[in-house]
């Protein structure tokens, strides 16, 4: 299992698990949540991408131009399109918009690495804005690859790093002043009158904060209120209006159970044993309302005897013992390494929450122990809390949309962790005390459209039910059960691609796009993911929503040796085959017009046939190479459906130029020279039409991606 790389230090927040605690957020500041627009109603994201045409540098690499989630691209290096600036300018039109690299994650489904970029407008961060790309790695050793060379650049090694996926959430049409009208010194007047201290202030650009689809320049203010304690406020930097405030602590309830006497993975220091190890420290802080994580709060006992109840509460031992096991599951099953975890047990406290931290940084958690006389320590709750710190690297908990995904995703992680450790799946979170908190099989809320305007905890419940449907299946709803590890890999992959304030439709699109790329639309995995989204009232608008809808896929050899000169892909479909001549096939990639198929190629296209059978692979400047083979097929209504497969061409005998030698030996030719040189040198591979006037030939010239770049009459003597 590849390990996640954790590179982004995030502002710390904590989270609640039970809807009983409520959402501390709005405080009467926001408009009525039943009024106004949702993020999906505001058509300001990805405007440039939605209008990509043949004038755009990315056009020839575009495979699925209608996707709103994860866009599948034919692999290309930044050098192929000239520069990083060319790439970013192709996905946005406003020169005031820039992007800054934030972090990378190793792909779980593919051989590659995701790179996340945060959007800025005139050097002010745009909340939720940015994009994620995935670069494919040809050497199958993603951990040895070089990192980004600068803040604003992705990896540029053309041999190891080709952009293959794009997940954009870029906010455009911003037209606000980024010079605050309100002085930072006067922010306190916008907050409540009992403010004791302001601990931090940052300028941000937000969209739709007040549900009016508007952009605002705001101060994000961390402050302490005598009346409310620690708070985060969002203040309009031009009017001084407090738009939104929330507490950084959103508590949850947690159950516990007595697991009896268990061995502790503790540590000897001097003549004492302490409740800590190389990654976990456990504290007992009952009665300490400020929860000091001081070393003298870590239980200790003489090393010449076992622990006993005089050394610490049994719940403190249980927390240490169970948390250590949970951390192993995160590492071994999910590839997520927590490096420095601090957990405090507070027996006089009725909630549990994350205070701050991400897996790659010190993280701090508190677990309570006064709910119906029970302490709140159990596998699913510990997994839930640790899950919040995992997802905080990608999703913000601050607002309703991202916060509700946080809660649903954390429930999924907690349930998954518990199932691994117990050997069977338990769909109820918090039933071990017994205290039934949330039932993923039979939730209070199982439909997204019914919870859009509820609190984060309620709003997250349909997501947990979606997980249940995908893994358990439902014969009534035509949902086949999916392997849970396959599901978790897909889910964690999708989260990496999301914007910071993503919502259900964003996660839906990401999972649909990834399961299509990984398994194809004829797979049971695809049907499961699709139908489960529909069941929880998240419309996918996919052509296969109908249970009897037809699927389409390509099957064949996708890794080939160039020496063998053969590639074959065939349509697999349950559509009625109206006429094999109605299909058309396109090859995208290097020397795409020089492939030869049994049926015959015209440029880089084959017209007709249920298969494309290549018997001649042209020589490439270096290896390995990737081509994309795309097939269009009409359905019964005459609408064309597109399906594609990536084919990797390898030099199996290692007797041709590898990529690094090609790039190190000489500079790569410019695109114009490269096209002309290859086209004329291999003129016999291109479509040539004779016509009788003046003994001339009309040569149709294609670029390397198969597009016509020029036409000219060339005088040629005919002997």
Please tell me what DSSP assigns to residue 78: G
pLDDT mean values, one per 10 residues, the chain (719 residues)? 28 29 29 65 92 90 80 88 89 94 87 90 95 77 42 59 91 94 86 74 91 92 75 90 71 42 78 85 79 85 80 87 92 92 83 85 84 71 92 90 94 95 88 65 94 91 97 93 96 95 96 93 94 96 84 91 95 75 91 96 94 95 93 81 91 89 59 31 30 35 44 33
Report yes or no: 565 and 576 within 8 Å, Cβ to Cβ: no
Give the containing element (helix H, strand E) for 460: none
Task: Output the pLDDT for position 20.
Answer: 25
- Using alpha carbons, list the distances in angstroms from residue 204 to 189, 223, 314, 403: 19, 17, 46, 19
User: Could you read off the pLDDT of 180-190 as tens digits, one per residue?
Assistant: 999 888 888 88
SS (H, E, C) 156-218: CCCCCCEEEEEEEECECCCCCCCCCCCCHHHHHHHCCCCEEEEEEEEEEEEECCCCCCCEEEE
Please tell me what DSSP assigns to residue 522: T
Contacts of 234 (CB under 8 A, 6+ apart): 204, 206, 209, 218, 219, 220, 221, 242, 243, 244, 245
Task: Output the pLDDT for position 239.
Answer: 92
From the CB of residue 629, how many other CB atoms can be counted at a distance below 10 Å? 24
The whole-model pTM stands at 0.75
Region at 541 (left for phi over 0; alpha for psi -120 to 50; beta for the rest): left
From the CB of residue 265, how many other CB atoms can be counted at a distance below 10 Å? 15
Question: Scanning the structure block, which residue is given the tokens 């710390």?
Answer: 12
Q: What is the mean pLDDT of the chain?
A: 79
Provide the b/e sequence for 381-411 (b: ≥16 CB within 10 Å).
bbbbbbbbbbbbbbbbbbbbbbbbbbbbbbb
């Amino acid at each position: 299992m590849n390990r996640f790389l954790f590179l982004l230090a995030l502002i710390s927040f904590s989270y609640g698990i039970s809807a009983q605690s409520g959402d501390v957020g709005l405080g009467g500041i926001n408009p009525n949540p039943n009024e106004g627009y949702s993020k999906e109603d505001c058509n300001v994201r990805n405007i440039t991408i939605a209008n990509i045409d043949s004038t755009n540098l990315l056009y020839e690499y575009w495979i699925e131009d209608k996707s709103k989630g994860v866009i599948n691209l034919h692999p290309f290096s930044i050098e192929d399109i000239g520069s990083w600036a060319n790439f970013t300018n192709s996905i946005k039109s406003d020169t005031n918009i820039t992007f800054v690299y934030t972090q990378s994650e190793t792909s779980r489904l593919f051989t590659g690495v995701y790179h996340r970029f945060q959007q800025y407008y005139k050097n002010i961060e745009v909340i939720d804005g940015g994009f994620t790309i995935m670069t494919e790695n040809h050497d199958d050793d993603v951990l040895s690859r070089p990192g980004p060379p600068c803040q604003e650049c992705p990896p540029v090694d053309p041999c190891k790093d080709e952009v293959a996926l794009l997940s954009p959430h870029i906010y455009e049409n911003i037209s606000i002043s980024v010079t605050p009208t309100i002085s930072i010194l006067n922010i306190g007047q916008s907050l409540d009158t009992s403010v004791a201290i302001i601990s931090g202030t940052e300028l941000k650009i937000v969209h739709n904060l007040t549900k009016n689809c508007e952009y605002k320049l705001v101060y994000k203010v961390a402050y302490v209120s005598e009346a409310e304690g620690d708070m985060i406020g969002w203040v309009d930097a031009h009017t001084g209006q407090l738009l939104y405030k929330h507490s950084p602590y959103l508590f949850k309830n947690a159950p516990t159970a007595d697991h009896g006497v268990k061995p502790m993975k503790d540590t000897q220091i001097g003549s004492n044993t302490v409740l800590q190890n190389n990654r976990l420290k456990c504290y007992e802080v009952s009665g300490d309302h400020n929860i000091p994580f001081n070393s003298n709060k870590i239980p200790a006992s003489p090393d010449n005897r076992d622990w006993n109840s005089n050394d610490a509460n049994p719940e403190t031992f249980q927390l240490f013992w169970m948390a250590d096991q949970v951390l192993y599951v995160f590492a071994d099953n999910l590839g997520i390494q927590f490096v420095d975890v601090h957990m405090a047990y507070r027996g006089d406290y009725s909630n549990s929450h994350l205070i701050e931290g991400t897996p790659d940084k010190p993280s701090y958690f508190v677990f309570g122990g006064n709910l119906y006389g029970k302490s709140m320590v159990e596998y699913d709750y510990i997994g839930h809390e640790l899950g919040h710190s995992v997802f905080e690297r990608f999703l913000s908990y601050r607002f309703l949309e991202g916060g509700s995904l946080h809660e649903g995703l954390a429930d999924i992680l907690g349930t998954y962790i518990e199932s691994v450790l117990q050997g069977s799946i338990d769909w109820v979170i918090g039933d071990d005390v017994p205290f039934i908190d949330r039932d993923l099989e039979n939730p209070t809320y199982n439909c997204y459209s019914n919870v859009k305007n509820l609190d984060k905890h309620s709003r997250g419940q349909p997501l947990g039910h979606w997980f249940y449907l995908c893994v358990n299946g439902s014969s009534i709803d035509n949902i086949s059960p999916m392997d849970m590890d396959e599901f978790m890999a897909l889910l964690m992959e999708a989260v990496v691609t999301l914007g910071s304030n993503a919502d259900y439709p964003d996660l839906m699109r990401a999972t649909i796009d990834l399961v299509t790329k990984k398994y194809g639309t004829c797979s049971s995995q695809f049907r499961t993911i699709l139908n489960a989204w529909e069941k929880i009232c998240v419309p996918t608008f996919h052509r296969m929503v109908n249970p009897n809808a037809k699927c389409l896929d390509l099957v064949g050899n996708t890794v080939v040796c160039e020496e063998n000169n053969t590639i074959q892909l065939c349509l697999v479909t349950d559509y009625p085959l109206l006429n094999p001549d109605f299909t058309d096939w396109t090859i995208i990639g290097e020397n795409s017009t020089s492939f030869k198929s049994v049926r015959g190629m015209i440029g880089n296209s084959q017209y007709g046939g249920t298969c494309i059978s290549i018997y001649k692979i042209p020589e490439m400047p270096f290896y390995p190479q990737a081509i994309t083979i795309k097939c269009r097929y009409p359905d019964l209504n005459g609408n064309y459906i597109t399906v594609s497969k990536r084919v990797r061409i390898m030099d199996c005998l290692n007797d041709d130029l590898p990529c690094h030698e090609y790039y190190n030996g000489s500079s790569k030719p410019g695109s114009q020279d490269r096209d002309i040189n290859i086209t004329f040198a291999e003129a016999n591979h291109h479509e040539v039409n004779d016509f009788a006037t003046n003994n001339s030939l009309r040569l149709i010239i294609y670029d390397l991606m198969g597009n016509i770049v020029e036409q000219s009459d060339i005088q040629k003597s005919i002997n």
